[in-house]
Amino acid sequence: MNWEKLVTAIFGSHHQVTRLGDVISGTGELRGQTLAVVGTTDHTAIGIEIALAQAQLVLETVQNHPGRAILLLVDTQGQRLRHRDELLCINRYMAHLGCCIELARRQGHQVIGLVYDQALSGGFITSGLIADACYALPEAEIRVMRLPAMARVTKIPEEVLEALSASNPVFAPGVENYVAMGGIRSLWTGDLAAALQDALNTAPRVDVRATDGAARGGRMLAAQVIEQVLADGVAA
């Protein structure tokens, strides 16, 4: 779904969301509540300028609209793969965006992530994945790497990866896999306004993804290992 259809599906005509370059921003009204909208479109690569532009929007919201909920709309092919970005320390720019979102959360802004088209690796970590909770449309795609490329890098035959991915959500692309592992809280279907309202009503403030992953059977070890680390060497 393109971003214009998406914001209309969520907010009807009650929004002022616009596009500047590949960054989308503005506000939307949901049942009387104003939300800040920050995101990207056209599968854009997150280079230093786009990371900074999004950070700016989040900081402006924190400064000018205390407490306003933030909806992060994710569509990215990942971090920009250029020498210039690395030279100028792109990881610092992206970490800054993540820290701005973290600050917003700590100052009482709810932050909801939505993968509405595509989310890849690095570009996703400091946007949707750092929200209170991240959701996805069913037709969205989330991945680190496609199986053919993964087969080349890991030197494991693609057929083997293909066969294993049918029963194990741990490496293959797909939003369902991320739901099973707790990384995506749920898929939004049907009435998107209602889905957002529900997210605002129920999104947890603390990180529950590991326990979600265990409860859903998609990531059985993370929560258990975290508990073991907490318990190890502590006298009973």
Cα–Cα dist 144/187, whole Å: 19
Q: How far is the CB of 9 from other proteins (least distance, A)?
A: 27
Q: Are 194 and 201 in contact (CB under 8 A)?
A: no
Q: How far is the CB of 195 from other proteins (least distance, A)?
A: 21
Angle at 209 between CA 205 and CA 210, to 5 degrees: 130
Tell me whether residue 39 or residue 122 sits nearer to other proteins (CB atom): 122
Query: Which backbone phi and psi does 34 adopt, to 5 degrees?
Result: -90, 130
Q: Is 214 in the site for other proteins (CB under 8 A)?
A: no
Query: Applying CB under 8 A, which of residues 166, 229, 235, 236 lies at the interface with other proteins?
Result: 229
Binding segment toward other proteins, per CB under 8 A, in 11-19, 28-36, 176-184, 190-198: 176-184
Q: Are 101 and 188 in contact (CB under 8 A)?
A: no
Q: Is 191 in the site for other proteins (CB under 8 A)?
A: no
Q: Is 223 in the site for other proteins (CB under 8 A)?
A: yes
**Where are the extended beta strands (E) located within 41-191?**
44-46, 69-74, 76-79, 111-115, 118-120, 133-136, 141-143
Tell me whether residue 116 or residue 124 sits nearer to other proteins (CB atom): 124
Tell me whether residue 12 or residue 66 sits nearer to other proteins (CB atom): 66
